[in-house]
A and B are shown apart, each in its own frame.
Chain A
């Protein structure tokens, strides 16, 4: 079983729609949860970063973490064509030997004008 599972999509939505992206994980030691956006042929860029459970909002983006269900979500409101990209979830646990990050395989999103 992979540490992090993410539906690869692809996901196609009309402009202005609300997008929901999700990941599940198996390691209860994960405490830090991140969402990265990756445009084609570019490196991933950090969108949101949350610690433990709860919600975090940043503009049109909301990240949710439910540690009891081992489930995280990213919501995009009023989606724009510029949001078309691959979205990667990532997680890490603090260890004495350093922080190892585990990434989902990414969900490809297309927002149609």
Chain B
């Protein structure tokens, strides 16, 4: 158990709908990362938040947004869902060093499996 929790474990919805995925980082970790994992694309970095602020952005679609709250939990919002958005969505957390310094270890949650029908 990594100490990172994600809810829900499974989500089934229809095209055009909007869903929210939730992540609670490990105790003491200030940074949260979101990833999308599909069979053909592998693990794709979406976005990173550090202590409530966006720090790095990857291949995140405009239909997707995220935020990190004062209690450090994070939510990933996916809207106008398409069939191709079906994937595993992982959250990872880390202590995260100050900007521009050494990278650190990410601990992954169990993931949310999203199925868009």
Contact = CB atoms under 8 A, between A and B. Distances in A.
Nearest to A106: B42
Interface string B23-40: 000000000010100000
A65 to B, nearest CB: 14
Contacts of B110: 42-43
A105 interface: yes
Contacts of B106: 46, 101
Given A45-B2, A94-B101, A106-B42, A100 B108 contact: no
Interface string B94-117: 001001111111111111000000
A41 B109 CA distance: 11
**Which of A6, A43, A97, A101 has most chain B Cβ within 10 Å?**
A43
Contacts of A98: 48, 50, 55-56, 99
Interface in A86-109: 88, 90, 92, 94-106
Given A98-B56, A99-B56, A43 B2 contact: yes
B56 A45 contact: no
Nearest to B48: A98
Residues of B in contact with A, size category: 20 to 34
Contact of A44 (B56, B101, B103, B108): B108
Interface size class of A (residues with CB under 8 A): 20 to 34
Contacts of A31: 103
A32 B106 CA distance: 12
A43 B106 CA distance: 11
28 contacts: A31-B103, A32-B102, A36-B108, A43-B109, A44-B90, A46-B106, A46-B107, A49-B105, A51-B102, A88-B43, A92-B103, A94-B101, A95-B100, A97-B99, A98-B50, A98-B56, A98-B99, A99-B96, A99-B104, A100-B56, A100-B58, A101-B103, A103-B42, A104-B42, A105-B41, A105-B42, A106-B42, A106-B43
